[in-house]
Amino acid sequence: MFGNSREVASSQRQAHPRLVEIVGRHLREPFRKPISDASRAAFDALAARVEDASRPLVLDAGCGTGASTLALARRHREAFVVGVDKSRARLEVGQRALACADDVANALLLRCDLVDLWLLAARAGMRFERQYLLYPNPWPKPEYVMRRWPGHPVLPAILACGGALELRTNWDVYALEWAEALRVAGREACVELLIPDGLTPFEAKYAASGHRLWRVESP
Ligand SMILES: C[S@@+](CC[C@H](N)C(=O)[O-])C[C@H]1O[C@@H](n2cnc3c(N)ncnc32)[C@H](O)[C@@H]1O
C-alpha cells in the first residue's frame, strides 16, 4: 500500500568505519572490470545520440520508471537528459510515458548497467553537466558497503564524468557516506534535509510514509 514503506533497517548507525580507507584505495587503484557487450552497445547508442544533440548532458542514474528523467528534461530545457536503469520492466513504463510527453524532446531512457556506463563514459571523455543519483538501492548491511555508490570501486569514474552531483536518499547513513566519500575525493558536499518535491516515485512513497529525506549536493 502507498504510504507504508518501511524505513531502512541497518545495524549501521553512522558512516562505515572502513569507508575512508576503501575510498582512498579506489581513488589510487584503477577499477578493472569486464564490460558486457550489451553495455557497449547501449553506450554506443548513447554516444551517437549525444553527438547529434550537442547540448549539455544531464544523467539520471538509476532512473527507475523514468518519471524523474521527464521532470528533469522539463527542468533543464537547455540540456539533454539521459535516464539510465538496468530494469527492463521499469524502463518500459518510462518509454510509454516518454512517447506520450509531446513537450519533451530532450530526453532518452537507456537500459544499461550503470557501473559499465560510468566506466565507458569516463574512458570516452563524456562529461555531464549534472548527475542525479536519486534514491539508490541502500544495501543496508555493513558488509555491503562496497555495493553502495560511496564505497563502490566505480566512484572515481563517476567523478571523472564531471558535473555537479545531487544524491537523494531516505537513509541518513547513505547521505553521510556519500558526503564523506566526496570529501575524501577532494569535493565539497553539503548534506541537508530535503523538502520533498515528488521528483521520483520512490521519493513520493517515502514522503507519504513519513520518512525523513536527505539531499547531498556537490557543486
Ligand atoms: C530504489 S530504485 C529508485 C528509482 C528511482 N530513482 C526513484 O527514485 O523512483 C533504484 C533503481 O536503481 C536501479 N539500479 C540499481 N543498480 C543499478 C545498476 N548497477 N545499473 C543500472 N540501474 C541500477 C534499479 O533498477 C532501480 O530502478
Summarised one tens digit per residue, pLDDT across range 13-30 is 999 999 999 999 999 999
The DSSP output letter for 2 is T
Q: Is residue 195 part of a domain?
A: yes
- Residue of 69, 70, 114 to test ligand 1 pocket, by largest number of atoms within 8 Å of CB: 114
Q: Is residue 146 part of a domain?
A: yes
For 141, the 3-state DSSP assignment is coil
Closest ligand 1 atom to the C-alpha of 117?
20
Nearest CA to ligand 1 atom 14: 62
Q: Is residue 104 part of a domain?
A: yes
Q: Is residue 154 part of a domain?
A: yes
168-219: pLDDT as tens digits: 999 999 999 999 999 999 999 999 999 999 999 999 999 999 999 999 999 9
Could you tell me how many helices (H) and strands (E) the chain has, helices first? 8, 7
pLDDT at position 1: 66
Closest ligand 1 atom to the C-alpha of 201?
9
Q: For the residues 125-148, what does the mean pLDDT come to?
A: 98
| Residue 48 grid coordinates | 551517437
Residue 18 alpha carbon to ligand 1 centre in Å: 25
pLDDT at position 54: 78
pLDDT-derived band at 51 (thresholds 50, 70, 90) equals confident
Give percent of the chain above pLDDT 70.
99
Q: Is pLDDT above 90 for 53?
A: no
pLDDT at position 207: 97
Q: Is residue 8 part of a domain?
A: no
Q: Is residue 205 part of a domain?
A: yes
Q: What's 40's domain CATH number?
A: 3.40.50.150
Residue 64 alpha carbon to ligand 1 centre in Å: 5
Q: How many domains does the chain contain in total?
A: 1
Alpha-carbon gap, residue 32 to 142, rounded angstroms: 24
Pocket of ligand 1 (CB under 6 A): 62-64, 68, 85-87, 90, 113-115, 134-137, 200-203
- Buried (b) or exposed (e) across 6-37, using 16+ Cβ within 10 A? eebeeebeebbeebeebbeebeeeeeeeeeee
Q: Is residue 11 part of a domain?
A: no
The one-letter amino acid code at 95 reads: Q
Grid cell 535516464 is found at 83
Alpha-carbon gap, residue 70 to 52, rounded angstroms: 20
Nearest CA to ligand 1 atom 12: 62
For 57, the 3-state DSSP assignment is strand
Tell me which residue range forms the domain holding 65: 19-218
Q: Is residue 162 part of a domain?
A: yes
Residue 100 alpha carbon to ligand 1 centre in Å: 23
Q: Pick the residue with more confidence: 69 or 54?
A: 69
